Amino acid sequence: MEKNWMFADLHIHSRFSRVCSKNLNLDNLVKWAKIKGIHLLGTGDFSHPVWIQELKDNLKFNGKGFYYFETGGEKFPFIITGEISLIYTQPSKSDGGRGRRVHLVLLIPSIEVAEKINSYLDTKGRRDYDGRPIFKIPCDEFVREMRKISEDIEIIPAHIWTPYFGVFGSKSGFDSLKKAFGKEFENIHAIETGISSDPPMNWKIKDLENKSIVSFSDAHSFWPYRLGREATIFKKCESYLDLVKQLREQSFIGTIETDPAYGKYHWDGHAKCNFSCGPEKTKELEGKCPVCGKNLIVGVESRVEDLAEGENYLEVSPNLRNAGRQKMFYTLLPLHEIISLWVGVGMNSKKVWGIYNFLIEKFKTEFNILLDVSEEEMVKEEVKEKLIELILKNRKGKIKVKPGYDGKYGVALIENFEE
């Protein structure tokens, strides 16, 4: 890691979003962000009335778009962020009036701007029932209205390949970013890979040629195997506008990615039928589940293959610095996953936590362990040989993962996985 790098996780949630930890608060977020090695967090859930009041009560503005939470004599920075769900019907010549479903992440320059957005949302529906509220607003209209409030608001299509709410997802209603955002297409400067995809998969899509490809965790808890499991590496700054400039000019450093197979929707399948398969097998089955006969839930790998446009991309190896949009990226599984794989018990077990805490005590942060600590340093601190081997293998993106499907996470494997 370089001294000027800033690890940022800007897509997270508060305890006010559905299926999120009830202990998601600023204290816990900051505590575990520091242990993970994250330097900047998004607040998440700016639209929820109680959460934004907590942000106003507990964060101090630096006058340049960063908000600081003070704890233990130290300050930790946030920017104001949140996720909005757009579900609507859009007339179309080809399909009459197909339903559309898209999740968007918003980066916001100040709480004052966030409150203006909330006033606009109040004209469209309720926002007090969930940290990720739903509105019947078309994508292009939403972007247009946000730009009326402030052109500094950054709108990023979230986890763009997940079947149900990613803009390229098999059930989103769209096959194209241009069709989703219409005349506002040029005002979308970045997309989020999501856990089920990585940069090379997105390089295959012509619509994304001039878009920044970023990664964030979409964390529903503060635990380090969720928070920061995906992140974007920026050049250090203390200004919201400097941060957004890096996105718009594609001048940030790169991203932290999990192996796409780890994601809940990488392969096609049916969780209830305990069946999954890759794109070739799905074609052989004509998209039908061999157990129940119904249509398979089409995962990310198949969807990317369907929408890829010939050779309009370059194959680039992980961790390679390259000009333009093809940024350096690391493919990493969280440290808890590696320890769990080694000891053969669950990630949240007492044994895994004991080893995790020992490693953090010795080497300070999880990202330091995953990316930087040398084999010699680990041997010196008496880290077990097999665990060192797995940490170094993970650093090279070489740990095999049995692909996730239909809402089930992938599973890391010590031995190579064969279909």
Query: Each residue of 77-111: pLDDT tens digit?
Result: 999 999 999 999 987 655 556 799 999 999 999 99
Nearest residue to 227 via CA among 256, 268, 192, 270: 256
Residue 293 has pLDDT above 60, yes or no: yes
**Angle between helices 49-58 and 111-122 in degrees, nearest 10:** 170
Residue 346 has pLDDT above 80, yes or no: yes
Rg (CA), the chain: 21
pLDDT at 309: 74
pLDDT at 418: 42
Residue 367 has pLDDT above 90, yes or no: yes
The angle subtended at Cα 25 by Cα 24 and Cα 27, nearest 5°, is 125
pLDDT at 312: 44
| Ramachandran sector of residue 156 (left: φ over 0; alpha: ψ -120 to 50; beta: rest) | beta
pLDDT at 414: 77
Rounded CA separation 158/81 (Å): 12
- Residue 26 has which token pair? 């600023």
Domain range 5-262, CATH architecture: Alpha-Beta Barrel (3.20)
Supply the DSSP string of 147-179, one letter for each residue. HHH-TT-EEEE-STT-TTTSTTSTTSS-S-HHH
Residue spans per domain, the chain? 5-262, 335-398
Which residues, 6+ apart, have CB-to-CB distance to 90 below 8 Å?
97, 98, 100, 138, 173
Side chain identity at 278, as an amino acid letter? G
Q: Note whether 370 and 378 are within 8 A (CB).
A: no
Strands (E), 206-253: 212-214, 231-235
Mean pLDDT along residues 117-121: 98
